[in-house]
Each structure stands twice: as structure tokens, then as C-alpha cells.
Amino acid sequence: MRLLFLCSRNQWRSPAAEAVYQNDPRVEVCSAGTSTSARRRVSEKLLRWADLVLVMEPEHKRRLWEQFPELFHEFRIEVLDIADDYPFMDPELVELIRERTEPWLEA
């Protein structure tokens, strides 16, 4: 399964999620951001690559709809509900990422 994690700027949450799952044999993983100032910005190519898009907040799902309206319904997008309250690889962030991602891997 190919997972694409998205947050706003691809600075803390989505790169942390990518790091958490990068050596997991069950998945291939990538991360990006929805903002124009993102380190790696989400693209149609990345979205088409992914089997599952996991966004950190409902706002990110809305931004995908705005940026890719003609493609939006082609993608499986789920919201993890992880606020932008943690630095990169904060233990609490890592725990939330695992706790909220694992059910999608078992589905």
C-alpha cells in the first residue's frame, strides 16, 4: 500500500509520519504539503501514486478539493485529526501518528 501524508508546509507532521513508516514493510510512504510554501508541495502525480492519502486536518482535505476539483473524488482521503502542536518527531506526535494511521492499514 502506498501512503501519502499531507500537512500544510511539509515541515513537522507529514515528514514525521513519513519517517515513522519509511521502514515499514507493509507500505511505501511519501509526504507533502498543501501550502504554496510547502517544502514538497502536493501534486497530481503524488496523488495518483498514493493508494491512501492521510491528511492531518480537515482543512487539508478542503485544500485538496480546491486545488484538484476535477480529480478530488478519484482519491481515497482520510483525516487523522492531528493538530499542528508538535515539533518534528515529538514522542506524542509519533504516538498519535501510529494510533491514527494503523486502523487504515488494517482496513
Quick: pLDDT tens for 60-97. Answer: 999 999 999 988 888 899 999 999 999 999 999 999 99
Do the Cβ atoms of 55 and 6 come closer than 8 Å? yes
d(CA 60, CA 56): 7
Do the Cβ atoms of 8 and 35 come closer than 8 Å? yes
SS3 94: helix
pLDDT at 107: 64
Quick: pLDDT tens for 37-54. Answer: 999 999 999 999 999 999
Average pLDDT over residues 93-106: 96
* CATH architecture classification, 2-106: 3-Layer(aba) Sandwich (3.40)
Cα separation values, 84 from 1, 55, 71, 89, Å = 26, 12, 27, 12
